[in-house]
């Protein structure tokens, strides 16, 4: 009799769940998968299953509680999950669904302004995360979305940081980058963000000017950037513990097979505190021949401060006359090489 009662109770318990119970189950998903993955493949599998369960809980909540005041927040979460799933599985249709959902939420006049701002902020952030190969078109859309956010929510505390983040994709459009940074600086009370903006503006100020630098390398050489014998110069700021730096450098090394390496110089500046670390890492990656400077002062080194370095990798490009032509060519170095090599010698 007790067993029968227990089975009956376990069957009807889900039917007795309140909206609060359902919402708490959704919130509990923020803790992530409970199992610790043993490999990258398992982490992907667990993540996919977690997203699917999270999505199912939200969709069930919305179906069962269509008038609940938390419906807006539930849809915000659902849009984020669709976007994350789409990016993980390379399904652009899911990302597009998320974008449309966020746009609809932002237009919902029945929702409080701060809630609509949340939807707008996530939409611009998603634009940033999905920046594709159509650089100019994508950049235009993202900048427009950021400016629309600023116009709609002028008092939102996230606006200055959003403008600064959007400015990171405008390295090849310095006037636009400066405009976004100036707008962020005018409205930001955050001292740390102001310092970041000052660094960004400092890098922009390098454009069109010679960079008079003399470096002592860990290989025992002395290099004068003003004396590179008419070669294009890549000045790469990186660190041995910066995964994005290492990945970019490895990809750049692979690209060298199809580039006229005899026409340019590669000079790197390590922001490591221990000069032994960059040398060890360069040897591991087969790049020990790349001229590398490391003063052991990290981000506070005079060269890093002079160039306004606040993220890694940062890749400055100097033309054959030693003039700074681009302040970060991580994704556009091939087009810049072609452009500079086509110019007549001065």
What's the CA gap between 326 and 206, in Å, rounded?
9
Q: DSSP labels for 155-200? A: T-TTHHHHHHHHHGGGTT-HHHHHHHHHHHHHH---HHHHHHHHHH
Parse the chain into domains and list their residue ranges: 14-205, 214-342
Q: Where are the alpha helices (DSSP H) in the chain?
A: 2-12, 19-28, 40-64, 71-89, 92-106, 113-129, 135-152, 159-167, 174-187, 191-206, 243-255, 276-284, 302-306, 333-342
Residue 148 has pLDDT above 60, yes or no: yes
What strands lie across the sheet with 291-293, from one edge to the other? 291-293, 264-270, 232-238, 314-318, 324-326
Q: Which CATH architecture has domain 14-205?
A: Alpha Horseshoe (1.25)
Read off the tokens for 98. 């998320």
Q: What is the pLDDT of residues 197-224, one digit of tens each?
A: 999 999 999 999 999 888 999 999 999 9
At 20 the pLDDT is 94
Residue 12 has pLDDT above 60, yes or no: no
Residue 189 has pLDDT above 50, yes or no: yes
Read off the tokens for 27. 């919130």
Domain covering 214-342, topology: Glutaredoxin (3.40.30)
Q: Which of 29-43, 228-242, 278-292 has the lowest mean pLDDT?
A: 29-43
With H, G, I as helix, E, B as strand and everything else as coil, classify residue 234.
strand
What's the CA gap between 127 and 119, in Å, rounded?
12
Quote the mean pLDDT of the chain: 90
At 334 the pLDDT is 92
Q: What is the pLDDT of residues 308-344, one digit of tens each?
A: 999 999 999 999 999 999 999 998 899 999 999 987 6
Q: State the greatest distance between any 2 C-alpha atoms of the chain, in Å, as a whole number.
A: 97
Q: Model pTM?
A: 0.81
Q: What percent of the chain has pLDDT over 70?
A: 93
Which residues, at least 6 apart from 286, have a Cβ–Cβ distance to it below 8 Å?
A: 253
Residue of 309, 302, 171 lying closest to 239 (CA atoms): 309
Per the CB < 8 A criterion, the answer to whether 121 and 137 are in contact is no
Cα of 282 vs its chain's centroid, Å: 25
At 37 the pLDDT is 83
Mean pLDDT of 130-139: 66
Q: What percent of the chain has pLDDT over 90?
A: 76
At 136 the pLDDT is 63
Residue 7 has pLDDT above 70, yes or no: no
Residue 1 has pLDDT above 70, yes or no: no
At 137 the pLDDT is 66
Mean pLDDT of 42-48: 88
At 8 the pLDDT is 47
- The Cβ of residue 170 has, within 10 Å, a number of other Cβ atoms equal to 21
What's the CA gap between 71 and 51, in Å, rounded?
19
Residue 14 has pLDDT above 80, yes or no: no
């Amino acid at each position: 009799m007790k067993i029968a009662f227990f089975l009956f109770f376990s069957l009807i318990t889900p039917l007795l769940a309140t909206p609060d119970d359902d919402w708490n189950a959704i919130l509990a998903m923020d803790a992530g998968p409970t199992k610790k993955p043993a490999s990258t493949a398992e982490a992907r599998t667990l993540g996919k299953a977690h997203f699917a369960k999270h999505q199912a809980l939200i969709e069930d909540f919305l179906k069962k509680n269509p008038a609940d005041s938390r419906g807006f927040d539930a849809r915000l979460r659902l849009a984020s999950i669709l976007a994350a799933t789409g990016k993980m599985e390379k399904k652009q249709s899911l990302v597009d669904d998320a974008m449309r959902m966020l746009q609809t939420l932002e237009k919902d006049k029945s929702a409080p302004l701060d809630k609509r701002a949340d939807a707008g902020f996530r939409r611009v952030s998603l634009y940033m995360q999905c920046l594709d190969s159509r650089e100019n078109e994508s950049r235009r859309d993202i900048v427009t979305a950021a400016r629309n956010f600023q116009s709609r929510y002028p008092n939102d505390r996230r606006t200055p940081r959003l403008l600064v983040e959007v400015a990171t994709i405008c390295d090849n459009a310095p006037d636009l980058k400066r405009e976004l940074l100036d707008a962020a600086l005018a409205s930001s009370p955050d001292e740390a963000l102001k310092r970041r903006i000052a660094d960004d503006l400092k890098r922009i100020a390098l454009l069109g000017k010679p960079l008079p630098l003399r470096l002592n390398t860990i290989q025992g050489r002395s290099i004068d950037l003003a004396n590179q014998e008419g070669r294009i110069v890549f000045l790469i700021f990186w660190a041995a513990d910066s995964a994005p730096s290492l990945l970019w450098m490895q990809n750049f090394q692979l690209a060298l097979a199809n580039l006229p390496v005899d026409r340019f110089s590669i000079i790197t500046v390590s922001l490591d505190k221990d000069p032994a670390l960059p040398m060890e890492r360069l040897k591991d990656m087969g790049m020990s021949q790349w001229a590398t400077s490391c003063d052991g002062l990290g981000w506070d080194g005079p060269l890093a401060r002079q160039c306004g370095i606040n993220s890694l990798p940062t890749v400055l490009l100097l033309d054959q006359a030693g003039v700074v032509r681009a302040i970060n060519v991580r994704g556009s170095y091939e087009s810049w090489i072609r452009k500079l090599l086509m110019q007549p010698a001065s």
